[in-house]
Structure 1
Amino acid sequence: MPTVLLVVHCPTVPIVSERRLASTSALSEVCARIELLSGIPSDSQRLSLWSGRTDDADARPGLVHDFAADGLSCEASMTLEQCGARDGMGLKVLDTRASEIRHQFGQEEEEKVEKYEMDDEVYAQRQDSVLAYKQRMKMGRFGEAAASATSDVNDVPDLPSNAQPGARCQVIEGERRGTIRFVGPTAFAPGTWIGIEYDEPVGKNDGSIKGHRYFSAKPSHGGFVKPDKVDVGAFPVRRIADNDDDDDDDIDDDNDEM
C-alpha cells in the first residue's frame, strides 16, 4: 500500500510528529488519528497542507490546501493522495475551540500523558524520517546551494584583526594605498571583501557595484580586494614625487579585485 510521510504540527498543543500514513486515507481517518495524537476532537480540527514542515520559522513553506477554505472538513472522504500530499509535506492542525476550553482540556490530558523524546543520534540514523528524505533528495541545507555557500565561507582567508574601517592599508599588487571603508560579504561575488578608498584615482569604482553602494568615494577612487591581497598598517599618503615611478599596468585585474 502506498504511503506518505507527513510532519503533523499542532501549534496549540503543542505537538510536532512525523507520521507515515496511507495515501488512500480519507480526511476523516486522518482527523481520527490526529485526535488520538493531540487530543483535539475531530470536529474542532482545522487542517491545512503545506509544501514543508510548519514548525520551523525559517522554512517558509507554501500553502497547498486549506481544507476549511475549500469547504472540506474532517468528515470528508477525499484522500491524502487526492489532496496532493507528498513525502516531507507539513500537515498543520489548528484547534477551533475557545481558548479557555482548549487550555482546560489540554492541561488535564498533559498530566496523563507520559512523554517520549527520541535521542538526536537515534533520529539521525532512521531512514524513514523527514531528515533522511531531505538528505536523499538534497533539499534545504543538504542541497548544492547550501554546500556551495559553506565552501565559499571556508575558502575565505583569515582576516587580520586590524582590518577595520578607517585603517590605512596598501594593496600588494601595485602598492596602491588608501583607507579601508568596508569589510564583509558582498552581493557581487562570494566570500569576504575589503572595500578601499584609494588616495589616488587608481580604483575601479566609487564604492558601488551593480547599483549597490558599500561606501562612498570619488570616481575611480574605490575598489574591492580580497583580504590576502591587502597589507594593513601605518601607510601614510604618498607625496606626489613618490608616485612618479608608479605604473598602472601593475594593477591586478583578476578575480581578486573588483
Structure 2
Amino acid sequence: MASLLHVEVDETVFLRVTHSNLSHFAADVRFSLQSTIESVKEKLWRKTGTSVDSMSLQLYDDAGQKVCDLSDNQRPLGFYSPRDGYRLHIIDLDPSSVTAGGWLEDTSAVEKYTISEEAYDKLGFTFRKFKEKMAPQMSTANEDNVKDDYEDLAVAIKVGDRCQVEPGEKRGVVKFVGRAETLPPGFWIGVQYDEPLGKHDGIVKGKRYFDCPPLHGAMVRPDKVKVGDYPERDPFEEDEI
C-alpha cells in the first residue's frame, strides 16, 4: 500500500520593523509564524542593539492601529495573528541602552573642524578651486548626461514587463518608464514588487507615478532592472528568521 508523505509547512509573514529610539530605522523582515517571541527578540537584538530583556514588542495593523502587545516570550509569533504589511514596533526599556536618546543617529554633538574663508583661500589646492577650473567642462558633460542618462537601457523596458531588481533579486512588474519630475534627471523605472519590499504606493515626493499597494512601490534606475520570465516566488522558499 502506498504511503502518504506528510510535509509540514512553516508559514511566514512579512512585517515592517521600527524602533522607539531609532527614528530613521525601518526594515521589512520575513518571520516564521512558528518562532517564539523570545526568538524574534533575539534576531531583532542583532539588528538593533536592544537587548532581549530590555525589549518590548507591539504589533500594529496596516492602518496604523495598535493590535496588541507581544508580551509572552514563549508564545509563537503566529499566536498574535500578524499579517503581511503589519508593523512590529520595538520599545527599548533600558534608559542606558546604546540606542537611548537617539544619539546613534544624531551627529549634531560631533565637534566639526572649521576654517575661515581667508585661510581657506590661501591654501594652494582646494576642492573649490578645482570646481572653478572644471566648471565649464562639467557643465557641458552634465547636459549630455541629463539628455541620455539611462535612456539606452530604458527603451528595452516596457510597462507590464515582469522584472527582477538588484540588489536583492526583488521581483515584480514594471509600472512606469520615463523621466520623473520629482527625482534627479534621467530615466526611472517604477516597479510594483510582489512583496512589501518597497517604500511607497507609487507616490514619490507628492506626485503619483503609478498605483500599487503600500510598501510595494519603488523607483529605480534602469541599470538595476532585468526584464524577462520572472514569476512570483513561493514565499516559503525565502530566507526567514
Which structure shows the bigger proportion of residues in helix conformation?
1
**Which one scores higher on RCO, CA 8 angstroms, separation ≥ 6?**
2
Q: Tell me which structure has the larger Cα radius of gyration.
A: 1
Q: Same fold (TM over 0.5)?
A: no
Question: TM-score normalized by structure 1?
Answer: 0.37
TM-score by length of 2: 0.39
